[in-house]
């Protein structure tokens, strides 16, 4: 069946500067958006209502991702200087990881012991940082690419498989 993508259901307005990234929660009910001024907003997808305005990041937000647990209101946001972990229901920053120089961060699927991984465009760009989102501690640095890591993705079927793509024209699968 072909869907009709010509039908715009909503237009969400409220940012004062260009939108840099967006993310949908796993249950599809909440959308997060970030603009060039470092402001993050959360929205009710069904009504279009702005739910929260989160405090500013240092620099542009380059990546947003919700926790992969459908009931979990946790959001990770990344700027060039820090990673922040948010409770979007309470509009509070749970943790800030300073000097992370990340450009992307994603959550693992494991609900029992979730991990956060990040990649950088500048500092040690050939490595992947593995973080404990509950403590902000760096648990490991995955090294093996010859050039900078350009993307990462957790397997939707496995709790531990991570794939990374690199400017060295390779993809690595990590466990």
Q: What is the pLDDT of residue 107?
A: 75
Cβ-count burial 98-137 (b if 16+ within 10 Å, e if not): eebbbbbbbbbbeeeebbbbbbbeeeebbbbbbbebeebe
pLDDT value at 136 more than 70: yes
Region 89-106 average pLDDT: 80
Q: pLDDT, tens digit, for every residue of 46-94?
A: 999 999 999 777 778 888 989 876 567 888 888 877 888 899 889 999 9
pLDDT tier at 123, thresholds 50, 70, 90: low
Distance of CA 165 to the CA centre of its chain: 17
Instruction: Tell whether the model's pLDDT for residue 119 goes beyond 80.
Output: no
Per-residue confidence (pLDDT) for residue 127, from 0 to 100: 84
pLDDT in tens, 2-42: 666 677 888 999 999 999 999 999 888 999 999 988 899 99
Question: CA-CA distance, 175 to 163, in Å (whole number)?
Answer: 9
**Span 139-162, average pLDDT:** 82
Distance CA 39, CA 56 (A): 5
Model confidence at 163: pLDDT above 70? yes
């Amino acid at each position: 069946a072909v869907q009709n993508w010509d039908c715009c259901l909503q237009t969400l307005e409220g940012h004062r500067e260009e939108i840099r990234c967006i993310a949908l929660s796993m249950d599809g009910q909440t959308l997060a958006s970030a603009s060039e001024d470092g402001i993050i907003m959360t929205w009710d997808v069904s009504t279009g209502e702005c739910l929260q305005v989160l405090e500013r990041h240092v620099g542009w937000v380059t990546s947003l991702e919700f926790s992969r647990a459908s009931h979990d209101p946790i959001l990770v946001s990344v700027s060039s200087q820090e990673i922040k972990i948010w409770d979007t229901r309470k509009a509070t920053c749970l943790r800030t990881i300073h000097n992370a120089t990340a450009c992307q961060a994603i959550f693992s699927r494991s609900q029992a012991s979730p991990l956060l991984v990040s990649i950088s465009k500048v500092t040690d760009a050939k490595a992947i940082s593995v973080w404990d989102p509950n403590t902000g501690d760096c648990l490991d640095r995955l090294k093996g690419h010859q050039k900078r890591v350009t993307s990462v993705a957790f397997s939707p079927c496995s709790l531990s498989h991570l794939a990374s793509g690199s400017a060295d024209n390779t993809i690595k699968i990590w466990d």
